[in-house]
Amino acid sequence: MKTQFDPYSNYLATLKKIGYVPRKEATQEDYNRIGFMSGLEVHQQLLTDKKLFCNCPAGIFHAHDDFDAEVIRHMRPTLSELGEYDGTALMEFKTKKEIVYRINNENACTYEVDDTPPFLINRQALERALQITILSKFNVVGEVHITRKQYLDGSIPTGFQRTAILGVEGEIQLKNKKVRLIQLSIEEDSCREISDIGHRRVYKTDRLGMPLIETVTYPDMVNPDEVKEACDYIRFLNRSTGLVRTGMGAGRQDVNVSCKGGTRIEIKGVAHTKWIPELTHNECFRQWALLSLREELLSRVKDPKAWKTESALLDFDAFKITHPAIKDARDNGQKLVAVRLPEFKGILSYFNQPGIMFAEEISDRLKVIACIEKPNMVHTELPQQIITSADMEIIKMILNTDEEKDAVIVFWAPEADIKTALETIEERCKMAFEGIPNETRKSFEDGTTMFERVLPGADRMYPDTDSMPIPLEGSYIGELAKTIPNDVHERLAQMIQWGIPADTYHYLLSKNLFPIIEKAIVELGVDPKKAGKLFGHELKNVEGHYEAGDDFDYTRILDLIKFCKENGYHSPLGAMMLPELYQHPNMDFNSILTVIKFKKRSKDELISQIDFLSKKFDNEAKNNTKENKAAWIMGQIRPMAVGNICLAELKSEIDNMIQ
């Protein structure tokens, strides 16, 4: 009698074997054990009128279907300087993708689709990027050299991104440590993907060419929370200048992670910093799991180089097919192929990421490299079998499968893609003997990642022959340095000293409200705690609930504070006016008071009510205590009192009068 193999138990057993712990339970010892190491590439769009290398307006976006023309390109790998093709290049070429670019005349010209050479670099963008370079304590270069960085996924129609280093070797100061920065570069943003189905990938070119900066750190971070802290810091720093764009997609980061004995894996385009801890945690354990899987394989297979798969074309009609994807494949004239993976039993269901087993890495590559949409395969270690065990027995027999040792994958694909699919499966399996493939990965909100592309090699940089070097005179850099604001670290220290509530720091720095608060406190004499609450709590709340009027800008709040001060109004009247001001920034303040039904009343008028209310309470109250009475009177007068008198003062007046 054979022992029944249970894939799910195997998944759990391997999870335990590598010592996976959920992030909430993980300690620094866990991260030290697996050698967690992480660095960042933080991208931030610059606030400029125009794009970086042409005169199209920046920041004008359009809907997917709102385009004037389409252009098609195919990317070809070019030879590196060592005469080798880059890994990514070859993979992208293998995929034979047709890349479609949608162009809208409002925001793209012939430069974006590579039909016109670059114009001179946008000086406004360069200047703003340099200001941030100086702020991040980088060593500023003497001459800017535009470089081409190859991307063959089609995200840039030229096949390369124009980019240039402005500074090297900077640093930032986190709460408990310094993080070293490798470099800051200015670059053009890429296209936005509309769809990627089969052999056709569609992009739009509205964002393409917008100037952005990339800040790259050394891999100095040793746990997931530190990565987030560093990322937040860099983003605050960028925003604190007021020179960068904010809002959806204006800031994105690539996160590099490795474990002990692992390799640098790049998680691309993480949109929110709050996702970073879970993503980096899982990625580090994924690598740890792949290393464990390698040990397992090497203990089984003596000569990994000789290891190979075997495959056979299956006849759809020979099997009972119930799975809808396989039915569709049959109806669309695709082929069904079985692949035997010798010695891979228990490998396909090896722990990979929470809820994901190793087989998914193969399926991901079938999607990306062979262009076969998911679901694209089934295998012998699925928790629930999709192909009946009777059918699987036949397939195993066709392939001469050793029940105790081998695993089998069954995939379906158009005939033209089968060759690439078979190569892809074998290639990924052979990589398992090596350890962790160099790749970039796409992130998901649940903290898991999937294969995106092969990691490009170092050979993809070369000079842009269309551009001249740009000298940066010492006097120019000196002038720029004078315009730089305090850096984030100093701002944080100041807020702590002022006693501003800690829960507001993130919001205040990310919205670059510090300069406004500073004015309110220093110039208008607002109590720092109240200022912190007004901006960090009240304004945040208003932003979450209302739509801002077109002309709204934060300095209007300073006008509001001034108005209240001049008229002797007390808080929280300002906070009550905030929603109206936010929605109708041009409305005059007295009109706002009318809208919120505010009436000016003198202190005497308010206090004179206390005696009357006190008597009324005595007549009606069931539980007549002093506290109840004071609270009830306060409740009655409060609506009239707000803004006219300091509420604390009113409270003590009431307390005095009901003695």
Partner 1 sequence: MDNTDFFQGYKGRSLEVLKKYSVRVWGQAEMNTTRGEFKGTILPRASNDDDEHIVMKVITGYNIGIDINTIIDMKEVGYKKANYAIPEKQFPYTEGLPQVKLFGTGGTIASRLDYRTGAVIPAFSPGELYGAVPELADICNLETEKIFAVFSENMGPQQYIELAKAIGREIEKGVDGIVIGHGTDTLHHTGAALTFMCQNLPVPVVLVGSQRSSDRPSSDAALNLMHAMKTAGTSDIAEVMVCMFGPTSDEYGLLHKGTRVRKMHSSYRSTFRTIGDTPLAMVTREKVTPIKKNYHKRRNDKNVIIKPFFSDKVTMVYYYTGMKPDVIDGLVAAGYKGIVFVGTGLGHVNKEIYPAIRRAQAAGVHMYMTLQTIWGYVQMYVYDTGRDMMAMGIIPAGNMLPEVGYIKLSWALGQTDDPEEVKKLMLTPINDEITEREPYNGYLVYQGGVPEVEEFIKKVHK
Query: Nearer to partner 1 by C-beta: 129 or 141?
Result: 141
Any contact of residue 73 with partner 1 (CB under 8 A)? yes
DSSP-derived 3-state class of residue 92:
helix
d(CA 373, CA 127): 45
Find the shortest distance in angstroms from Cβ 324 to partner 1: 35
Query: Nearer to partner 1 by C-beta: 72 or 390?
Result: 72
Any contact of residue 68 with partner 1 (CB under 8 A)? yes
Interface residue with partner 1 among 461, 484, 548, 640 (CB under 8 A) is 461
Q: Hey, how many other C-beta atoms are within 10 angstroms of the C-beta on 504?
A: 21
Any contact of residue 164 with partner 1 (CB under 8 A)? yes
CA neighbor of 245 nearest in space, from 524, 47, 39, 484: 47
Find the shortest distance in angstroms from Cβ 435 to partner 1: 24
Query: Nearer to partner 1 by C-beta: 81 or 620?
Result: 81
Any contact of residue 216 with partner 1 (CB under 8 A)? yes
Any contact of residue 475 with partner 1 (CB under 8 A)? no
Any contact of residue 158 with partner 1 (CB under 8 A)? yes
What secondary structure, in 3-state letters, does 471-538 show? ECCHHHHHHHHHCCCCCHHHHHHHHHHHCCCHHHHHHHHHCCCHHHHHHHHHCCCCCHHHHHHHHHHH
Find the shortest distance in angstroms from Cβ 363 to partner 1: 28
In the structure encoding, which two tokens stand for residue 426, read together? 């074998």
In the structure encoding, which two tokens stand for residue 267, read together? 């998680």
Find the shortest distance in angstroms from Cβ 156 to partner 1: 9
Selected range binding partner 1 among 147-155, 288-296, 324-332, 526-534, rule: CB under 8 A: 147-155
Count, in order, helices (H) and strands (E) of the chain: 22, 23
Selected range binding partner 1 among 240-248, 304-312, 460-468, 641-649, rule: CB under 8 A: 460-468
Any contact of residue 81 with partner 1 (CB under 8 A)? yes
Any contact of residue 301 with partner 1 (CB under 8 A)? no
Any contact of residue 110 with partner 1 (CB under 8 A)? yes
Any contact of residue 55 with partner 1 (CB under 8 A)? no
Any contact of residue 478 with partner 1 (CB under 8 A)? no
Any contact of residue 145 with partner 1 (CB under 8 A)? yes
Any contact of residue 480 with partner 1 (CB under 8 A)? no
The residues in 125-144 that bind partner 1, with binding defined as CB under 8 A, are 138-144
Find the shortest distance in angstroms from Cβ 205 to partner 1: 13
Query: Nearer to partner 1 by C-beta: 371 or 509?
Result: 371
User: Applying CB under 8 A, what is the total number of residues that bind partner 1?
Assistant: 65
Any contact of residue 182 with partner 1 (CB under 8 A)? yes
How many CA atoms does the CB half-sphere of 66 hold within 13 Å?
A: 9
Find the shortest distance in angstroms from Cβ 104 to partner 1: 11
Looking up tokens 């709460």 gives 175
d(CA 167, CA 186): 10
In the structure encoding, which two tokens stand for residue 123, read together? 């000086």
d(CA 260, CA 126): 39
Any contact of residue 438 with partner 1 (CB under 8 A)? no
d(CA 120, CA 100): 27
* Main-chain dihedrals φ then ψ at residue 163, nearest 5 degrees: -150, 155
The distance of Cα 569 from the centroid of its chain, to the nearest Å, equals 43
Cα–Cα–Cα angle for 360, 362, 366, nearest 5°? 115
Find the shortest distance in angstroms from Cβ 460 to partner 1: 7
Query: Nearer to partner 1 by C-beta: 109 or 312?
Result: 109
Find the shortest distance in angstroms from Cβ 591 to partner 1: 45
Find the shortest distance in angstroms from Cβ 78 to partner 1: 5
Any contact of residue 172 with partner 1 (CB under 8 A)? no
d(CA 383, CA 349): 9
How many CA atoms does the CB half-sphere of 291 hold within 13 Å?
A: 16
Any contact of residue 499 with partner 1 (CB under 8 A)? no
Interface residue with partner 1 among 242, 383, 463, 635 (CB under 8 A) is 463
Cα–Cα–Cα angle for 377, 381, 386, nearest 5°? 55
d(CA 473, CA 96): 46
Any contact of residue 79 with partner 1 (CB under 8 A)? yes
Interface residue with partner 1 among 15, 91, 126, 152 (CB under 8 A) is 152
Looking up tokens 């931030």 gives 44
Interface residue with partner 1 among 26, 47, 75, 564 (CB under 8 A) is 75
Q: Hey, how many other C-beta atoms are within 10 angstroms of the C-beta on 524?
A: 13
Query: Nearer to partner 1 by C-beta: 333 or 474?
Result: 474
Cβ neighbours for 82, distance < 8 A, ≥ 6 positions apart: 459
Selected range binding partner 1 among 178-186, 351-359, 360-368, 559-567, rule: CB under 8 A: 178-186
Query: Nearer to partner 1 by C-beta: 167 or 437?
Result: 167
d(CA 97, CA 75): 8
Q: Classify residue 138 as left (phi > 0), alpha (psi -120 to 50) or beta.
A: beta
- Bridge-based pairing of strands 200-204 and 98-103 is parallel
d(CA 114, CA 208): 11
d(CA 588, CA 560): 10
CA dihedral 632, 633, 634, 637 (to 10 degrees): 130
Any contact of residue 165 with partner 1 (CB under 8 A)? yes
Query: Nearer to partner 1 by C-beta: 61 or 218?
Result: 218
Find the shortest distance in angstroms from Cβ 468 to partner 1: 7
Interface residue with partner 1 among 18, 71, 422, 542 (CB under 8 A) is 71
* Main-chain dihedrals φ then ψ at residue 449, nearest 5 degrees: -135, 160
d(CA 238, CA 123): 18
Find the shortest distance in angstroms from Cβ 76 to partner 1: 6
Selected range binding partner 1 among 51-59, 71-79, 420-428, 562-570, rule: CB under 8 A: 71-79
Find the shortest distance in angstroms from Cβ 475 to partner 1: 11
Which amino acid is located at 138 in the chain?
F
Find the shortest distance in angstroms from Cβ 461 to partner 1: 3
Selected range binding partner 1 among 164-172, 376-384, 481-489, 533-541, rule: CB under 8 A: 164-172
d(CA 235, CA 41): 11
The residues in 88-107 that bind partner 1, with binding defined as CB under 8 A, are 89, 105
Residue ranges binding partner 1 (CB under 8 A) = 67-81, 83-84, 89, 105, 110, 113-117, 138-145, 147, 149-152, 157-160, 163-165, 168-169, 182-183, 185, 216, 458-463, 465, 468-469, 471-474, 477
